[in-house]
Amino acid sequence: MVLGLSKYVFPEGFLWGAAASGTQTEGAASEGGKAKNIWDHWYEIAPERFYQGVGPAETSDFYHQYKDDIKRMKDINMNSFRTSISWSRLLPDGVNVNQEAVDFYQNVIDELIDNGVKPIINLYHFDMPFHFQEIGGWENRKVVESFAHYAKTAFQLFGDKVKLWTTFNEPIVPVEMGYLNDFHYPCVVDMKRAVTVAYHTMLASAMAIEEYRKTKQDGEVGIILNLTPSYPRSEDEEDVKAARIADLFFNRSFLDPSVLGEYPSELIELIKEHDLMPETVEGDRELIKSNVVDFLGVNYYQPRRVKKKESPIDDSQGILPSHFGDPYIWPERRMNPHRGWEIYEKGLYDIAINIKDNYNNIPWYVAENGMGVSDEERFMDDSGMIQDDYRIEFYQEHLKWLHKGIQEGSNCFGFQVWTFMDNWSWLNAYKNRYGFYRVDINTQERHLKKSGLWFKEVAKHNGF
């Protein structure tokens, strides 16, 4: 603070908020007419894959407590909140609307608006309905069409009030985790299938955008991507190439078609060269070209550091992205040891400038940024408040770099953290906590942390 004034002031109308997802917060996994999604199914058959065996039914009970939770958002001056609709709750059989789900989401949206919290509604956050997974999930084009039907239904039901929509959150993650490295169901390791899943997901996003445009509603539709700036170990040509290929696979595979309307030619050549091309249908290219996003959400947690391939090539499972380079451990890196992710605040600035210079300076916002820490009770003071100064510092440093990017002309309109209250994480369940509010998972009580108080002031002053 300089003379009582904020030093880092953000543009007028800047969105300050938090993000969440249906599966990670709602609970009520088998209540209210919801059908199973892949998480419910996977937990049934392999509970040992989840930290301490805690599954998706035991998330933070937002389904029942949303009114109080939204008041808590208002209490800390949040002016926006992103969550996702659960596809298997809204359309349990994939076709017909579940009225209980409509009521629930309608109430949540109304409650948000009544409390001055702008809703950003996302359609897909890793949560394939199980009956669609049984017919191949994203490998099956029929599922792509079903997604377009779901998107259209959601726009028709809620589009009069929701003005900011996103089609997908981190679409590369189900590709990577579910089809390349056995971290998410269906635990496949197969690059050709992964490429098909990625391609069909991209088509699904474009079809949803097309449906939105058809409704002639006056909102905007975007996509949320986890961008991991790829830094080569050195300027050596082979290191640089390895980093560029990682960027093509993990960032540009969705960024370019979503914003520019076409895939990078180098990516297509690479895919062809290794005989990984998915089946295409006439009209696909045009569909992607004519349905680019209005805005971009960016999730940023960590960079990707890459060096040329030095470890022995293992081709027992066919070609994989690891064939093109190795991860590089930067000697100066700082880690969040709880999550095992590098903390590199400048990455957010690099993203801001990349979007400005190479992606038409499209309007974008930080859709997730956060720090997961385990055993936070260690930091509880006598009053019961968690003194999470590390989290405040984490946000401050990221915001400083973001501010610099904005000063230099990047068109960023908001900053949403992960997350509002501690929630269930895909594999780590409740191990790492991210929230402004601590959630006691035994009693479901919520308690504000110090970072929540800090955020309250930042949002109030539109900076710090």
Taking CA atoms, 143 is separated from 47, 132, 140, 149, 461, in Å, by 27, 6, 6, 10, 45
Among 170, 176, 211, 247, binds ligand BGP (CB under 6 A): 170
Tell me the closest approach of the beta carbon of residue 21 to ligand BGP, in angstroms.
5
* Tokens of residue 389, six digits: 């100064």
- Which segments of 59-98 does DSSP mark as H helices, in order? 62-75, 87-90
Q: In the bound complex, what is the minimum distance in angstroms from residue 114's beta carbon to ligand BGP? A: 26
Which structure tokens are listed for 165?
């929509």
For residues 396-425, which are near ligand BGP according to CB under 6 A? 418, 425
- What's the CA dihedral at 369, 374, 379, 380 to 10 degrees? 100
Nearer to ligand BGP, 341 or 379 (CB): 341
Nearest residue (CB) to ligand BGP, 8 versus 254 = 254
* Minimal distance, residue 126 CB to ligand BGP, in Å: 7
Which one is catalytic: 139, 176, 211, 368? 368
What character string, x for contact with ligand BGP (CB under 6 A) and - otherwise, covers 327-366?
------------x---------------------------
Site string for ligand BGP, 23-42 (x = CB under 6 A): -x------------------
Q: State the Cα–Cα distance between residues 176 and 184, nearest whole angstrom.
A: 9
170 belongs to the catalytic site: yes
What is the C-alpha to C-alpha distance for residues 337 and 335, in angstroms, rounded to an integer? Answer: 5
User: What b-and-e string marks burial along 424-450, b requiring 16 or more CB atoms within 10 Å of the CB?
Assistant: bbbebbbbbbbbbbbbebeeeebbbbb
Shortest approach of ligand BGP to residue 170 CB, angstroms? 5
Euclidean distance between CA atoms 302 and 450, whole angstroms: 24
Candidate residues 226, 251, 411, 416; the one interacting with ligand BGP per rule CB under 6 A:
226
**Active-site hit among 26, 111, 139, 170:** 170
Can you name the residues that pair with 421 across neighbouring β-strands? Answer: 437
Asked whether position 228 contacts ligand BGP by CB under 6 A, the answer is no
**What is the contact mask toward ligand BGP in residues 67 to 96, using x (rule: CB under 6 A)?**
------------------------------
Q: Who's near 228: CB < 8 A, 6+ residues apart?
A: 250, 251, 300, 302, 303, 304, 347
SS3 for 341?
Answer: strand
Q: Which of 129, 48, 59 is nearest to 429 (CA)?
A: 59
Contacts with ligand BGP by CB under 6 A: the residue count is 15
Q: How far is the CB of 461 from ligand BGP (least distance, A)?
A: 27
Q: How far is the CB of 419 from ligand BGP (least distance, A)?
A: 7
**Shortest reach from residue 418's CB to ligand BGP, in Å:** 5
Phi, psi torsion values for 91, nearest 5 degrees: -130, 80
Nearer to ligand BGP, 215 or 428 (CB): 428
Which residues in 116-155 contact ligand BGP (CB under 6 A)? none
Decide whether 8 or 420 has the Cβ nearer to ligand BGP.
420
Q: Is residue 145 classed as helix, strand or coil in its secondary structure?
A: helix
- Show the site string, 279-318: x = touches ligand BGP by CB under 6 A, - = not: --------------------x-------------------
Closer CB to ligand BGP, residue 173 or residue 246?
A: 173
Per the structure block, which two tokens stand in for 11?
């543009």
Rounded Cα distance between 121 and 69, Å, is 17
DSSP state of 21: -
Residue 92 per-residue DSSP state: T
Alpha helices in 290-443 (DSSP H): 346-358, 389-407
98 DSSP 8-state letter: -
Which residue in the set 33, 428, 456, 461 belongs to the binding site for ligand BGP (CB under 6 A)? 428
Please name the amino acid found at residue 232.
P
By CB under 6 A, name the one of 372, 405, 435, 452 that touches ligand BGP: 372
Binding site for ligand BGP (CB under 6 A): 21, 24, 169-170, 173, 226, 299, 339, 368, 372, 418, 425-426, 428, 432
Residues recognised as catalytic? 170, 368
